[in-house]
Structure 1
Amino acid sequence: MTTDDKATCAKSLELMAIGTLEEMAEVFAPDALNRESKAEPAATRGAGPEAFHATALWLREAHSDLRWEVRDAVQEGDLVVLHTTMTGRQTGPFTAYDENASVAMVFPPTGRAFSVTQTHWFRMREGRIVEHWANRDDRTLGEQLGWTPPSPVYLAKMLLARRRARHRA
């Protein structure tokens, strides 16, 4: 392993915010797995750059000005860990999915900014990412965006948004 692995992992987060599929193919191996895709759309649940690009598009649909600031990077063998702060603004609906990739919940846009800590774990092989998983502070994210606790009006908006999303699916 090289110190370039840490840079590759940091680059992968930048690409989640602004990267193309072609750029993602440079950092994600063809068989790369995202262990976090269980609450994401069906297109994200495969392997390789295409699945990670689908995750990026899903996140970008809900959030503008998305970025990750790397606070610390540690490597032990083929494992790289990045402690980050994710920031952005919720300008679109955020849709969460169940284990069958069906719409579980929709959080309508609030226009609010957020800043939350996350720890991303990457397994590397030959300079590319082959596995990713994360620990996220989703509770703080929900509080900052006004999702939790939801006001009665926002709760009604959530239910209507979920109904529309399920109807489109």
Structure 2
Amino acid sequence: MSTIDAETCIRSMTIMGSGDLDELSRVVHPRATNREAKDEPPACRGQGPAAFVATAHWLRSAFADLTFDVHDAVTDGDLTVVHCTMSGRQVGPFVAYDERGAVAQAFPATGRRFAITQTHWFRMKDGQVVEHWANRDDMGLARQLGWVPPSPAFLLRMARATRQARRAAA
């Protein structure tokens, strides 16, 4: 196991949560790709640190106190896997995007806290993250934040938040 690769991957996650985004260029390769960006804003779908910074801004616009509590990290060759719990509090709308980059849905802020398990996969090159993908407990997130089962009032708030997000994106 390469301790340096595992530390680099964990550092990238810490930076995403902390907001010290200038440091991402030290740990993210110029040609890095986030395979999870398909549901994120168009700015997140590029390559390199700028796309990862866009993902961090997107997450932090919806979630305050974002932290990743690492349980395990394993490296084999150029691949590092990190099992963690992501936690925070929803303070802004969480906006999901479709494959064309248009707003698909927006989940209005609930102010609730959450903690969900995730597994992040990182491919490394030259000591930097060059590829990322993840398995997340999205249903657990939705339940903890009160998105499901939706109440009639929440559905109305969701429709309003989606309209506002679409206007802002236009």
2:95 is aligned to 95
Higher mean alpha-carbon deviation, 13-22 vs 51-60, is at 13-22
Q: Once the two structures are aligned, what percentage of the paired residues are identical?
A: 58
Provide the rounded CA distance (Å) in 2 between the counterparts of 1:113 and 1:19.
19
Check whether the contact 1:21–1:50 (CA below 8 A) recurs between aligned residues. no
Deviation per CA, 1:88-119, whole angstroms, max 9, x where unpaired?
00011100000011000000000000000000
Provide the rounded CA distance (Å) in 2 between the counterparts of 1:109 and 1:164.
13
For residue 158 of structure 1, report the CA deviation from its aligned partner: 0.2
1:121 is aligned to 121
For residue 167 of structure 1, report the CA deviation from its aligned partner: 1.9
Provide the rounded CA distance (Å) in 1 between the counterparts of 2:31 and 2:163.
35
Deviation per CA, 1:94-153, whole angstroms, max 9, x where unpaired?
000000110000000000000000000000011100000000000000000000111110
Structure 1 residue ranges, 4+ long, deviating more than 3 angstroms after superposition: none
Matched AA of 2:132: H
Q: Secondary structure at the match of 2:105?
A: strand
1:72 is aligned to 72
Q: Secondary structure at the match of 1:26?
A: helix
Provide the rounded CA distance (Å) in 1 between the counterparts of 2:19 and 2:5.
18
Determine if the alignment matches structure 1 residue 156 to structure 2 residue 165. Answer: no
Provide the rounded CA distance (Å) in 1 between the counterparts of 2:56 and 2:82.
18
Deviation per CA, 1:57-101, whole angstroms, max 9, x where unpaired?
000000000000110011110000000000000011100000011
For residue 19 of structure 1, report the CA deviation from its aligned partner: 3.5
Provide the rounded CA distance (Å) in 2 between the counterparts of 1:65 and 1:19.
10
Provide the rounded CA distance (Å) in 1 between the counterparts of 2:19 and 2:132.
17
Please give the TM-score of this superposition, normalised by the length of structure 2.
Answer: 0.97
Matched AA of 1:119: T
Q: How many residues align?
A: 169
Matched AA of 1:152: P
Provide the rounded CA distance (Å) in 1 between the counterparts of 2:157 and 2:168.
17
For residue 166 of structure 1, report the CA deviation from its aligned partner: 1.1
Provide the rounded CA distance (Å) in 2 between the counterparts of 1:128 and 1:116.
26
Provide the rounded CA distance (Å) in 1 between the counterparts of 2:64 and 2:53.
16
Point out where structure 2 has 5 or more consecutive residues left out of the alignment. none
Q: Secondary structure at the match of 2:31?
A: strand
Please tell me the root mean square deviation across aligned C-alpha atoms, in Å: 1.0
**1:1-169 to 2 correspondences below 5 Å:** 2-169=2-169
Check whether the contact 1:103–1:162 (CA below 8 A) recurs between aligned residues. yes
